[in-house]
Amino acid sequence: MKIAVASENEMVTEHFGHCKNFNIFEVENNQIVKNESIPNPGHRPGFLPNFLNDRGVNVIISGGMGGGAIDIFNEKGIEVIVGAGGQAKAAAEQYLQGTLKSTGSVCHEHQHHDECGN
């Protein structure tokens, strides 16, 4: 399993599409066995869900996310967790422990992306 966390370096970002990087955690037997950080290749409608799907991601964690991206992830069978915060690795570990639940924080207006997740 692979868990991607939309991040600003090591911290969960508030808005998925405008993150600096994705921390991707590879999981075996419910334990993180490998992690890598890949830069965000750029925010274009519909691109990032396909980009992460092509990398084998099964779960995406972010502070907030637009409805269009959520729909694409759902179509691809990728679980979406929004409303997260704090350290990216801690968020992935909380997900694995079953203690990180999605708040359903959907961003509706991109011009207000700094307010997502609030």
pLDDT tens digit sequence for 3-59: 999 999 999 999 899 999 999 999 999 999 999 999 999 988 889 999 999 999 999
Q: Is the pLDDT of residue 118 over 90?
A: no
Kindly report the number of other CB atoms within 10 A of residue 30's CB atom.
10
Question: For 6, how many CA atoms within 13 A lie in the half-sphere containing its CB?
Answer: 27
Average the pLDDT over 94-111 and give the result: 79
Tell which phi-psi region holds residue 54, choosing left (phi > 0), alpha (psi between -120 and 50) or beta. alpha
Gap between the Cα atoms of 60 and 62, Å rounded: 7
Spatial contact of 25 and 73, defined as CB atoms under 8 Å apart: no
